[in-house]
Amino acid sequence: MNGVLRNTWYWLAGSALLAILILTLIFLGSWYIQLITAIAIVGGGIIFHMIGIRWSFHAMMLTFPLSITLPVSGESLVMFPSELLVMALAVSVILHWLRFGSEFMLWLKHPVTIALAGYLFFLLISGIYSEMLMVSVKSIIIKLLYVISFYGGACIYFSNTRNTNDFFKFYLFPFLVIILITLAKHSEYSFSKDVSGYVTKPFYQDHTIYSAAMAFLLPLVGFQVKKSSGYTRLLYLAIFILFTVAIFFAGSRAAWLSLGITLCFGLLLVFRIPPSGYLIMVLLSALLVLIKSDEILWMLKSNRFDSNARNADIGEQTRSVINITNDQSNAERINRWKCAWRMFEEKPLAGFGPGTYQFTYFPFQREKEMTRISVTTPYNIEEGKGGTAHNEFLLVLAESGVAAAIFFTAMVLLVFGYGIINIHQGNNGLFSLAMLLAFTTYVTHSLFNNFLDTDKTAVFFFTAMAYFVSKSGTKSQATGI
């Protein structure tokens, strides 16, 4: 009886808040848009909590590919409807934690969560000393929402459902519609690489975000091809081919490189090397690069393949990845990376504040390192010249300091460690392999671009983390999904 009363209360509270929302819209208008939004989010969160995390998570995933940026009050923009659902899911997750505290404590003690908490703690410390307080406050709030909704929500989701491979399908199928639309628009320009960065709009702001999403999903689609049979296998095989074609025409070299590195990593996983073995290989590779730095630098400087050259074919574009001399995209990335490092040198402990890089890096540019696509002001930036540090790790280092960067790096390495152990133990082995490869595409891509402030891609990073946390020995005791 108590359960019935509690559920009835949740339904009544959610319905009442939505009713207030409608009345506010009718009688108060746009002056109270923030109040309206808050009411909608809390009401939606209560309803999500009643529906259960599983279906709420599915509803959120369904909206990501189809969401578009809309202006709200002042100069603020919102990704509609996904950002509203992310906030509603955060409310739902908090309510779930309040009801099932023991489950929350299990994840809180996990090493990945501890590393994540350390990263967030130093993010907050950095925000206190930020060069632009309000910018950092907004950035921290967004990250906290993503952690609660994507990481917290996915921990609950994966711990309470057997069909762990279902979650990505709700992103996949609406995304197929966007891919077909993008290919159709691109075909009107004869698939010219010069427009590949724009044909993804309004659903994806540029081809790198679009390609990162496809690269992450490709191993999971491959898992479905392997797992399925009959007409279902043919369907997923067709989707796999479509993704391959779409990634090719999207023209994101970072996505191509991430898939190449992921393929090599996948082949290494076959040999069942323990996590320590991969760490040794990384350290030996770094040592080799250090020893052969002069020869490697000469090779890079002698490369003249330019991805921006007219009619550059796939081979030239691929080889241009290591051109640091006259490829403007590469040279500008190096410019941004050096700026991030100089910012770190100036403020190594607290950084300049979360979200501030794009406003504060300009004085750290050197004229000889700037390119024709460099910018000197954060305002009225031309299409294709924006972005921040183009490296997730350097961005954290510059904005939040060395401690935040250490915890962030440790968090990523721990996910790889638990992922490898999970695969070796045969715990949902094939899907775990696909998920780890998907996570690898994202991490590799993050060395050349940064997407953790974009919900359409940040969801992949945090849900992959949550998957391996939920499958590494913590068992749920909840029944609320």
Q: pLDDT tens digits for 256-309?
A: 999 999 998 998 888 888 877 888 887 887 787 777 666 655 565 555 555 555
Contact 406/129 with Cβ under 8 angstroms? no
Give 418-462 as a DSSP string. HHHHHHHTTTTHHHHHHHHHHHHHHHHHTTT---TT-HHHHHHHH
Contact of 27 with 454, CB cutoff 8 Å = no
Task: Give residue 125's pLDDT.
Answer: 96
C-beta separation of 340 from 387 below 8 A: no
What whole-number distance in Å separates Cα of residue 371 and Cα of residue 376? 11
First vs last C-alpha separation in the chain:
19
239 closest CA partner among 177, 153, 317? 177
CA-based nearest residue to 173, from 109, 127, 239: 239
**Token digits of residue 92:** 């739902």
Neighbours of 79 (CB within 10 A): 19
Q: How far apart are CA 15 and CA 26, in angstroms?
A: 17
Contacts 24+ apart (CB under 8 A), 37-40: 37/72, 37/84, 40/84, 40/88
**pTM (global) more than 0.85:** yes
Task: Judge whether 167 and 60 are in contact, CB under 8 Å.
Answer: no
Q: How sure is the predictor about 384, in pLDDT bands with cuts at 50, 70 and 90?
A: low
Span 131-150, pLDDT tens digits: 999 999 999 999 999 999 99
CA 5 vs. chain centroid, Å, equals 39
Question: 38-61: per-residue pLDDT in tens?
Answer: 767 777 777 787 788 888 888 899
Q: Which two tokens stand for residue 121?
A: 């703690």
Burial class (CB in 10 A: 0-12, 13-18, 19+), 203: buried
Q: Reduced to 3 states, what is the DSSP secondary structure of residue 161?
A: coil
Structure tokens given for 309: 């050259």
CA pair distance 355, 361, nearest whole angstrom:
11
pLDDT at 475: 44
3-state secondary structure of 149: helix
**Could you tell me if residue 72 is left (phi over 0), alpha (psi between -120 and 50 degrees) or otherwise beta?**
beta
Contacts 24+ apart (CB under 8 A), 383-389: 383/197, 383/198, 384/197, 384/206, 386/358, 387/336, 387/358, 387/449, 387/450, 388/336, 388/357, 388/358, 388/361, 388/450, 389/336, 389/337, 389/339, 389/340, 389/357, 389/361, 389/450
Question: Strand, coil or helix: what is 54?
Answer: helix
**pLDDT tens digits, residue range 328-356?**
778 888 899 999 999 999 999 999 999 99
ω before 111 within 30° of 0 (cis)? no
Taking alpha carbons only, the member of 244, 256, 242, 251 closest to residue 192 is 251
Give the number of residues written for the chain: 481
Residue 323: helix, strand or coil by DSSP?
coil
Query: By the 8 A CB rule, do 216 and 442 touch?
Result: yes
Residues in Cβ contact with 170 at an 8 Å cutoff, skipping those fewer than 6 apart: 58, 59, 61, 62
**pLDDT greater than 70 at residue 312:** no
- The token duo for 306 is 């330019």
pLDDT at 20 over 70: no
- 377 band by pLDDT with thresholds 50, 70 and 90: confident
The residue that leads in pLDDT, 422 or 13, is 422
Kindly report, residue by residue over 196-224, the tens digit of the pLDDT: 888 999 999 889 999 999 999 999 999 99
**Residues whose CB is less than 8 angstroms from the CB of residue 404 and which lie 6 or more positions away in sequence, other chains included:** 119, 122, 123, 126, 351, 396, 397
Q: What's the pLDDT score for residue 473?
A: 57
**In this structure, are residues 307 and 360 in contact, taking their beta carbons and an 8 Å threshold?**
no
Picking from 175, 123, 205, 115, the residue whose alpha carbon sits closest to that of residue 151 is 115
